[in-house]
Structures are given as structure tokens and as C-alpha cells.
Amino acid sequence: MVGELMKEDGVQLASEIDRDPFKTLIRTILSARTRDDQTIKVSSILFEQYDTPKKLANADPDRVREIIRPIGFYNSKTKYIMDTSRMLIEQHGGSVPNKFKDLVALPGVGSKVANCVLVYAFGIPAIPVDTHVHRIVNRWGLVDTPDPKSTHKQLVDILPRKWWLLINDLLIRFGKEICKPIGPQCDNGCPLAPCCPKLVKKTRGKKRTKPRKPGNKK
């Protein structure tokens, strides 16, 4: 299925955003439970003033909080990104580490954020599993898992390494446009419908037809 989708969608990562490791790390921490367009907008404003660990670590927390206020959980995220910046300076010479174990030791960085940084900032094969990836690979029947964490565990075992760098970007776009959480476009142009093993029939929004009365030909 991933191969089929790749034929449809090309093999380049789509996002045009800056791959600088520090910006990628901070942007991904900020992205939790926030729409992508909002994350990109807010992080761009933040980076106009604080685009290095040193600048962000020494920033006025109230000013940082004010900038990221439009996104969810801005109080905890302010603390995460400032503490992370301090830790980068104190423990990594002001650079973002490129090892999973070092990344997940940073405040506000879990498995998904760490894997995103490996893929998008360093081009190191990893599988960031967000809700889109989790939902789609379950619909495809590639895995049968209750949560993204278990999905990640299974994908690492079954997905050929050559797809690791691309699967997150590919499925996020596919999940937003076609294989949506609600109302997947199975019968409306999904290029994978012919080979999707768990084709989700579109049942929502269909009008119920009243049973016809005997003798009524209209």
C-alpha cells in the first residue's frame, strides 16, 4: 500500500518548512494537539526573535508565553521549549542531538517528537507515528493496534526501512485529504480503493429513504 501511494504522490517530502534541527525540535514540541497551520504561524513569529537555544533559554518567559498563546497548552509548552533550550546548551554544546535516547531525555520530547526530529532534521530513518499514521495503517490492515505507541512498535518490525523516511509525511497528507478520520474518500477518488483491504464504506450523511406506501408510484 505504501508503494502504491508513493507512485501516486511522488517520493519527496512535501513540507517546505525549515529543516534546521533546533527549529524542527521546537516546532514539533509546539505542534502537540495543535493544527499545523497554527503551529507554523506561531513558530515563525517565535523564531523571528528566538532562533537559537541561547536566545530562547535567555528569553523572558512572559514574552514567549505571549507569542505562543494562540496554540494549545501554551503554559506547559513555554516551559518545555525554554527548559529544552537550556538543556541543549548545558548538555549538548548548544546543538540538537541526533540520537533517539538523547532526544527523549529533553523536556516535552516523547517518542513521536524525537522520531520527527530524526527524520525531518537529520534524515535519519525513523517512524514518527501520529494519529494519521496510526489510523491509516490500521485501516489498511497492516497492523491491528489500539494506540500509536503499539502501532510504532509493530511498524518498526514490518515496514521495510526504505519507507521509514517518507511514511509520516506521506500519510499525514493522505490522511488530511483522502483517508480522513471521518468521511474517508473511499468511494470518491481514493487511488488506493481497488487494493485497500479494509475499505471503509461511506455510510455517514446518506439520506434515509422512506419506505414507499403501497399504491404510491411517485
Interface residues with ligand SF4 (CB under 6 A)? 139, 178-179, 184-186, 190, 192-193, 196, 198-200
Q: Which is nearer to ligand SF4, 124 or 199 (CB)?
A: 199
Q: Which is nearer to ligand SF4, 99 or 198 (CB)?
A: 198
Q: Are 25 and 118 in contact (CB under 8 A)?
A: no
In whole angstroms, the minimum distance from the beta carbon of 4 to ligand SF4 comes to: 10
Q: Which is nearer to ligand SF4, 26 or 178 (CB)?
A: 178
> In angstroms, rounded to a whole number, what is the distance separating the alpha carbons of residues 67 and 43?
9
In whole angstroms, the minimum distance from the beta carbon of 183 to ligand SF4 comes to: 9
In whole angstroms, the minimum distance from the beta carbon of 37 to ligand SF4 comes to: 23
* Residue 216 neighbours by CB under 8 Å, 6+ apart: none
Q: Are 107 and 85 in contact (CB under 8 A)?
A: no
In whole angstroms, the minimum distance from the beta carbon of 38 to ligand SF4 comes to: 25
> In angstroms, rounded to a whole number, what is the distance separating the alpha carbons of residues 9 and 125?
19
Q: Which is nearer to ligand SF4, 82 or 192 (CB)?
A: 192
In whole angstroms, the minimum distance from the beta carbon of 182 to ligand SF4 comes to: 12
Hey, which bits of 51-179 come out as E strands?
none
> In angstroms, rounded to a whole number, what is the distance separating the alpha carbons of residues 44 and 72?
16
Q: Which is nearer to ligand SF4, 109 or 192 (CB)?
A: 192
Instruction: Kindly report the backbone phi and psi dihedral angles of residue 38, in degrees, each rounded to the nearest multiple of 5, phi listed first.
Output: -70, -40
End-to-end CA distance of the chain: 46
